[in-house]
Chain A
Amino acid sequence: MDPIAKSLKSTSVSAKIERRGKLITQLCTMVIVLLVIAIFAFIASKGVAIFGQDHGSVLDFFTKTTWNPDKQDAYHRPLIGALPMIVGSFAVTLLSVIVATPFALAAAIFMVEISPKSGKKFLQPVIELLVGIPSVVYGFIGLVVIVPSVQKIAGGSGFGILAGSLVLFVMILPTITSMSVDALKAVPRYYREASLALGATRWQTTYKVVLRAGAPGIMTAVIFGMSRAFGEALAVQMVIGNAILMPTNLASPATTLTSILTMNVGNTIMGTTANNALWTLALLLLLMSLIFNIIIKYLAKRGELK
């Protein structure tokens, strides 16, 4: 063949590099997709084993309060009542979010509506730094500062849901604040101008216009904080007392899904009933984080439509 025709018809070096480059990026993306699928597949298959091979009852898991997977009840089913952990997890999550949200909103309003200058100067750097503080450090502070204070005020050992919620409050406060700031900043300036032009005061504008327009974003921030609080392991485990009991009051030792996992995975043998029961807790955590994710997605979509 004519060498010129040949060089024109064959793939150029550049095209080959291009094809190779694209292939590399596609392979990398494939890895992360497979990873996500693998995480769900592995944990789901381990998590349902207790209901299959060990004949556990799903109803017991969500409603009974005795957690002792090595022992069996009258029907030869393992005692896997996970209600204390589930209640504990939801209690610390909800309490911390209920306390943190007003504070986070106040800080966000301060930074966006009232005093952007000093907000940027003082609040912003402190909040950014606090987002980065490792969770064990929060746990340690909880152990040496919060637990003794709770003990002084509420009596008992000090370990319990109250201490856990307070630690989580400090942990999720920066997260909710910085996301709420973004939500408020996204509200167009002319909304405020229109409201002020109608004679509304700053608070009326904030409360009736800005907060409502930013509501989907603020909800996203709150759910994000909840998801972080629900999945937090070590900081909570260090201050909650780790007793698998239904919490009777805010200062009695309790436990959460994550704490039980942290404490016990190392003490059980792979494949035993006790171990399988723990994987079911992990599966529950995984599903909860998926649910939080779906809610955030839904809120984001609703925010877009407006």
Chain B
Amino acid sequence: MNPKRTDKIATTIIYVMATTIVVILIALLLYIFFAGIKTINWHFLTGAAKSFQAGGGIGAQLFNSLYLLVLSMLISLPLALGIAIYLSEYASAQKVAALIRSMIEVLSSLPSIVVGLFGFLVFVINFHLQFSILSGALTLTIFNLPLLVRGIEDALQTVSNSQREAGLALGLSKWETVTHVIIPECLPGIITGVILAAGRVFGEAAALIYTAGQSAPPLNFSNWNILSLTSPLNPFRPAETLAVHIWKVNSEGLIPDATAVSAGSSLVLVVVVLIFNILARYLGNKLYKRLTGE
């Protein structure tokens, strides 16, 4: 066959396949949207879940997801900052840095169920934390750390070396250069990395089934006693998150409207992830403008 015709045929096939992908993906998004939008109303977003009847809401689950995210960020963010600063600024021995980087890569490629089982073994059983938000947050930290470290390190690397040299030339120590010059310079980049990681963590379920638990005791939002079981802020209560809720209503099938509840919850999850992505993109653009002076 002549090469020109082969070229035409191959191009057509690639067009068709690329279009197929776009169609599949858009159909998927539209399905999530239209299946979920029917269920969503104020009562669904704030109401309590029901165990056996139809008409339950996802109020507690939504709050649990957000609370868990905040707690795990509080634990993992300082750690990840420290690790990223070490890898990007201090690690002078190439071999040590490479070894630590490959360990972080291994950590990020672990199946989330394995991370969940480790959390179950260590935090739930050995540390006697039971199925609790705290166990869940600590487990999510393991999941979260590699994502955060990579994001923050990328952000630190975008700062040009002349900034570091300028800091040192002014007589600042390395640490002062990092905290006063480099971090303020790439702050939008760091925040972008954090938000992207937050989006991934928000939808995580496999690591939480055996750590944060699969039950959501009803919450009383006027109860501020941090040790009471109904207080939303109590970190020692079991807390089913939104993603776990979708899995649970489908695999147990005890409520008659499981499909509607999962469709609504899926839409909420996807919308939250979308908001995180848009925020991250906005801040990334802002950083780009700041660095290029556009």
Contacts and interface: CB of A to CB of B under 8 A. Distances in A.
Contacts of B277: 128-129, 132
Interface in A136-170: 136-137, 139-141, 143-145, 170
Given A132-B200, A135-B206, A233-B113, A107 B18 contact: yes
A29 interface: yes
A23 to B, nearest CB: 10
A18 B175 contact: yes
A126 interface: yes
A231 B113 contact: yes
For the complex of A and B, the 7 pairs showing the least CB-CB separation, nearest first, are A134-B203, A231-B111, A28-B82, A21-B175, A106-B17, A25-B86, A18-B173
B5 to A, nearest CB: 10
Given A25-B86, A258-B111, A203 B6 contact: yes
Given A15-B173, A21-B178, A123 B21 contact: yes
22 contacts: A20-B175, A25-B82, A25-B90, A32-B100, A36-B103, A38-B118, A110-B17, A133-B203, A133-B270, A136-B247, A202-B11, A204-B6, A232-B111, A233-B111, A234-B205, A258-B113, A282-B113, A285-B114, A286-B110, A289-B109, A292-B109, A293-B109
- Chain B CB count within 10 A is highest, among A18, A128, A233, for A233
Contact of B79 (A32, A173, A202, A285): A32
B22 A122 contact: yes
- Chain B CB count within 10 A is highest, among A31, A127, A201, for A201
B14 interface: yes
Contacts of A39: 107, 110, 114-115, 118, 142
Interface of B: 3-4, 6-7, 10-11, 13-15, 17-18, 20-22, 24-26, 28-29, 31-32, 35, 78-83, 85-87, 89-90, 100, 102-107, 109-115, 117-118, 120-122, 125, 142, 145, 149, 171-176, 178-179, 199-200, 202-206, 209-210, 214, 243-244, 246-247, 250-251, 259, 262-263, 266, 269-270, 273-274, 276-277
A191 interface: no
A102 B10 CA distance: 13
Given A17-B176, A203-B10, A133 B273 contact: yes
B20 A136 contact: no
B280 to A, nearest CB: 10
A134 B87 CA distance: 30
A238 B79 contact: no
Contacts of B100: 29, 32-33
A282 to B, nearest CB: 5
Contacts of B21: 103, 106-107, 123, 173, 177
B113 A261 contact: yes
A170 B31 CA distance: 14
Contacts of B107: 32, 35-36, 39
B26 A126 contact: yes
A24 B86 CA distance: 9
A19 to B, nearest CB: 8
B263 A140 contact: yes
A145 B18 contact: no
B28 A170 contact: yes
A131 to B, nearest CB: 9
Contact of B112 (A174, A201, A231): A231
Contact of A201 (B6, B18, B171, B172): B6
A276 interface: no
A58 interface: no
A129 B83 contact: no
Interface residues of A, number: 85
Contact of A140 (B15, B103, B250): B250
A282 B114 contact: yes
Contacts of A140: 246, 250, 262-263, 266
Nearest to A143: B250
Contacts of A25: 82-83, 85-86, 89-90
Contacts of A86: none
B210 A266 contact: yes
Interface string A92-117: 00000000001100110111001000
A31 to B, nearest CB: 6
- Chain B CB count within 10 A is highest, among A14, A29, A103, A127, for A29
Given A18-B173, A18-B175, A28 B86 contact: yes
Nearest to B35: A144
A175 to B, nearest CB: 12
Contacts of B4: 201
Given A134-B203, A170-B24, A289-B109, A17 B173 contact: yes
Given A126-B22, A136-B243, A286-B110, A18 B176 contact: yes
Contacts of A186: none
B22 A137 contact: no
Contacts of B11: 114, 202-203
A43 interface: yes
